[in-house]
Amino acid sequence: MSNATTGPDNLTGVTPDTGLKIGQSDESGPMLAADGTPLKKSLNRALRKQKIRALALIAPLLIFILATFIYPIGEMLFRSVENQIVGEVLPRTVRVLADWESENDPVPGDAVFSALTKDMMVAVEEKNHTRLGSRLNYEVSGVSSLFRKSGRSVDDFGEVYTDQFIALDPAWEDPLTFVSIFADEAWVEADAAYDGEGRRPRFLLRDGVGEVLPQTASMYRDFARVVQTEDEDSPTEEDVWNSVYLALYEDLSVQPDIPAGLPQAEMLATARGAVADFETADLRAAFVDVDEGWEETRVWQTIQQYSAPYTTGYFLNSVDLQKTPDGVDWRPENEQIYVTLFIRTMIMSTIITVSCILLGYPVAWLLANLPASKANLLMILVLLPFWTSLLVRTSAWKALLQNQGVINDLAVWIGIVADDNRLALINNATGTVIAMTHILLPFMILPLYSVMKTIPPSYLRAAKSLGATNVTAFRRVYFPQSVPGIGAGSILVFILSIGYYITPEIVGGTKGVFISNRIAYHISTSLNWGLAAALGSILLAVVLLLYWCYDRIVGIDNVKLGG
């Protein structure tokens, strides 16, 4: 192959590339067209119209594919690393928890529980805490109920501060007090003018209040947003959450300077003077009281580990690994399933592909060498399976292969198999291999046939006339030329079977299911889409890797579907 393209000058006679050599004349400058423009340029101009037309022809398909195939797949694959939910639902907690070191302190400090109280309050009102619970439940079981239970009581946490503020000055109970401190005056006017038509004016925080009372401002803004969006009400009328009072207590405890320009500056100053003597609430005890899970280091470690917006967790999970405080480690033995499934998928797909080659090759040979009328009849038989539904064929195999099925009955009747020792042909790997070989066989036969059709019978005759026996002639002359067909068929069958889902689901039992069945389970039943996406990405990567290996070993230009 290598010296094939090197020396066209060695040719003596007229060869196919003589015309080419005339084109590559030795002139120093570029070739010019008749009107003096460089030949390349005028060629490009001539071809541009063709190119545009070609592009216009494929544009509808391209757009369709992009919108319905490439984009959704990209979106799905992105889910395998996406993990924004923790940071979005628990922003304050995640920030405070960043400094926590589990070696020094098995459970984080009060600051974390205070942040958790505020985050949970918002999450509960926006109904996000259960979503977060199920997400974290993939990593540590039990977290889901932890979040659900805590969600039910979190609105009472910190009530002790509310009561003390109101005791100090009953005006603290009035929502308008908070509105006057935190709301932008323009918004107050707009909100007052709102008559129920159109969109409610969006809450705006007063300039500067965030510097004085950072936590309260942020908490109050969340409160106002939730009231507006979830309750469709005005913050001017709703009772302020306990967690806002909690934030106010914390802000005032650091004794900030209160600018005189701030509304209710006097009330705030009074409260600032009083907070030092306030009775404090033990928020940690409140959470632990609801569920002891909050005292488990594991739970907090998980929240900390998954606080980043992107995670490798799903991928680790899909190869039976997990994150532990000591780094990446194997999952417990009884939870390891994916590596086994991947290996099983690969091995069984290989077996199916090889069976298809063995069964399909002679049929394709016959097809290619029969006279056209008989070949057409045989071709119809090969294509017959395509005319019936996949589900019907698979179900038929179920009827044939089962313990009391046709094949077992026949085997017992002939006497090969004892009646009390019938063959287990279904709900295991054997069933999957048998049914899938049958279903994928046409995908092997068709490319093989179309390649064999192009091999003239004179090659075999020539080999025999040169002294080769039938076997040698086949092995050295016919078979190498049919390899591109085997390659194309194998790639087709292997890739199809690696992602096959329905047949293993129906006839595979537990021992004969593929990784795709697990992906389907996570998509539709467990709703762990991130894991499904990670498994799918790995599958895609494996297929691409195999494709690359194939290209390296056999060469992709050696794949022919005919012609």
Residues that bind other proteins (CB under 8 A): 1, 3-4, 10, 12-16, 456, 458-459, 461-470, 472-473, 476-477, 480-481
Q: How far apart are CA 544 and CA 111, in angstroms?
A: 49
Q: How far apart are CA 117 and CA 96, in angstroms?
A: 13
Q: How far apart are CA 199 and CA 192, in angstroms?
A: 13
Q: How far apart are CA 43 and CA 23, in angstroms?
A: 14
DSSP secondary structure string, 8-24? GGG--S--TTHHHHHHS
Q: How far apart are CA 369 and CA 455, in angstroms?
A: 10
Minimum distance from CB of 6 to other proteins (Å)? 9
Of residues 12 and 50, the one with the C-beta less far from other proteins:
12
Q: How far apart are CA 343 and CA 341, in angstroms?
A: 5
Minimum distance from CB of 465 to other proteins (Å)? 4
Q: How far apart are CA 515 and CA 543, in angstroms?
A: 13
Of residues 193 and 471, the one with the C-beta less far from other proteins:
471
Minimum distance from CB of 484 to other proteins (Å)? 10
Full 3-state SS string of 366-426: HHHHCCHHHHHHHHHHHHHHHHCCHHHHHHHHHHHHCCCCHHHHHHHHHCCCCHHHCCCCC
Of residues 84 and 472, the one with the C-beta less far from other proteins:
472
Minimum distance from CB of 78 to other proteins (Å)? 45
Of residues 340 and 470, the one with the C-beta less far from other proteins:
470
DSSP state of 38: B
Minimum distance from CB of 1 to other proteins (Å)? 8
Q: How far apart are CA 400 and CA 390, in angstroms?
A: 15
Of residues 3 and 141, the one with the C-beta less far from other proteins:
3
Of residues 340 and 469, the one with the C-beta less far from other proteins:
469
Of residues 325 and 457, the one with the C-beta less far from other proteins:
457
**Are 186 and 207 spatial neighbours (Cβ–Cβ below 8 Å)?**
no
Of residues 389 and 458, the one with the C-beta less far from other proteins:
458
Of residues 4 and 61, the one with the C-beta less far from other proteins:
4
Terminal CA-CA length for the chain: 22
User: Residue 374 CB: number of other CB atoms within 10 A?
Assistant: 11
Helices (H) and strands (E) in the chain, counts: 29, 2
Minimum distance from CB of 374 to other proteins (Å)? 15
Minimum distance from CB of 11 to other proteins (Å)? 8
Beta strands per DSSP E along 173-238: none
Minimum distance from CB of 459 to other proteins (Å)? 6
Q: How far apart are CA 316 and CA 331, in angstroms?
A: 9
Minimum distance from CB of 474 to other proteins (Å)? 12
Q: Tokens representing 556? A: 């992709």
Of residues 17 and 156, the one with the C-beta less far from other proteins:
17
**Are 556 and 550 spatial neighbours (Cβ–Cβ below 8 Å)?**
yes
Minimum distance from CB of 527 to other proteins (Å)? 53
